[in-house]
Amino acid sequence: MDKCEIKNNTASGSDEFREDRRRQRLLLTQEEIRKLCVINDWRSAFGVLQTLSVIVGVITLALVFWHPLVIIPAIILIASRQHALFVLVHDAAHYRLFKARWLNDFVGRFLAMPGGISMCTYRVVHRLHHNHLFEQCDPDVPLIAGYPRGQRYLLIKLGKDLIGLNAWKTFKYFFGAPVINDDAAGANRPLDDTAPSLRKAARHDRWWVVAWHCGVFTAALVGGWWYEYLILWLLPLVTLMQVLLRLRAVLEHGAVSDQSSVLRSARTNLGPNWLMWFLFPHCVNYHIEHHLFPAIPFYNLPECHKILADNGTLSDAEVRSVPESLGMIMAKRGLTG
């Protein structure tokens, strides 16, 4: 894995996510790119309302029928929709949720806060993942690199996620301090490498996240619903949602065949609709397409995939079924490639 030098970036908009325009024009026509990158506020709003409606509906059912046979499935569904909220926050971080910048950032921050995420900080951190994929300053390297590591390794990691032991690492990441390990040696301080305006927004946003959680927890204590809040929101957030985050990230980048090529360093995962809804909400399974064209909003990624598949671009790319991807990341070291 190569080291990288990060130079201070004075950009303040979507140029924070570097795109290879020349390569893009070799894969799609200018007109295809233009159409795919159009933001449809109504489709974004539908995705937001759909996710929030499921959360509200499931919580309501659990409160009305307070029984383990209802609460346990509710926790599973809530965790999956907490993950779906994060995917929408991801689009907002890319400035692709709503056309108006103020609305995009307002909704993105609103959706992020209940999950303990600073959207403005995540925007800065995530930029490094796109611009320096698999380099040492890629903040996602500690999570995605080194696979395959064997079945036991991944199951232990997922087990620790499931009992909440790794949640602190996730919140540290979303507050701008990614965890480091042997694959990402040295301090990683994303906020030191960004425009002053983005750095100020990130630090301001983190205080709002802290204030939101302190306020909600205080209200829960005073209102006498702290137990329900703990069981139906915080518990899925620090347990099963952590499993979904890790598993999706590893399926997207783990045990890839060529870290120097976008077509083979990211992976598009395919599967039945129910699995995509649960594990890859809002079309986030089209990950090659996202890395090639970060400006495409989530609902246009399936069409992008179809065009790239039809023109032969994906013929030798990392496009696999979820079971096939799982087999690769859980194989013993040295058995894939």
Question: Could you tell me the two tokens for 320?
Answer: 């696999």
HEC assignment per residue over 65-113: CCCHHHHHHHHHHHHHHHHHHHHHHHHHHCCCCCCCHHHHHHHHHHHHH
Q: What are phi and psi of 96, to 5 degrees?
A: -120, 15
What tens-digit pLDDT sequence spans the chain (337 residues)?
Answer: 445 554 444 333 444 666 666 677 778 999 999 999 999 999 999 999 999 999 999 999 999 999 999 999 999 999 999 999 999 999 999 999 999 999 999 999 999 999 999 999 999 888 888 888 888 888 888 889 899 999 999 999 999 999 999 999 988 888 876 654 444 444 555 555 567 777 788 888 999 999 999 999 999 999 999 999 999 999 999 999 999 999 999 999 999 988 888 899 999 999 999 999 999 999 999 999 999 999 999 999 999 999 999 999 999 999 999 999 999 999 987 655 4
- Is residue 26 classed as helix, strand or coil in its secondary structure? helix
Angle, helices 240-253/151-162, rounded to nearest 10 degrees: 150
Question: Could you tell me the two tokens for 5?
Answer: 């030098």
CA 326 to chain CA centroid, Å, is: 18
Q: Is the dihedral of CA 194, 196, 201, 203 positive or negative?
A: positive
CA 337 to chain CA centroid, Å, is: 25
Rounded Cα gap, residues 269 and 331, in angstroms: 17
Residue corresponding to tokens 């696999």: 320
Tell me the pTM: 0.90
Give me the pLDDT at residue 132, please: 84
Give me the pLDDT at residue 303, please: 97
| Domain residue ranges in the chain | 40-329
Rounded Cα gap, residues 249 and 233, in angstroms: 22
Where does residue 122 rank: exposed (0-12), middle (13-18), buried (19+ CB within 10 A)? buried
Give me the pLDDT at residue 229, please: 97
Give me the pLDDT at residue 18, please: 66
Q: How many CA atoms lie within 13 A of 57 on its CB side?
A: 8
Give me the pLDDT at residue 13, please: 40
CA 254 to chain CA centroid, Å, is: 15
Give me the pLDDT at residue 12, please: 38
Give me the pLDDT at residue 257, please: 87
Residue corresponding to tokens 């795109």: 19
Nearest to 163 by CA among 97, 236, 264, 94: 236
DSSP 332: P
DSSP output for 107-137: HHHHHHGGGT--HHHHHHHHHHHHHTTTSTT
Give me the pLDDT at residue 60, please: 98
**Positions of E strands within the chain:** 268-270, 319-321
Give me the pLDDT at residue 4, please: 56
- Is residue 88 classed as helix, strand or coil in its secondary structure? helix
DSSP output for 259-303: TT-HHHHS-EEE--HHHHHHHSGGGTT-HHHHHH-TTS-GGGHHH
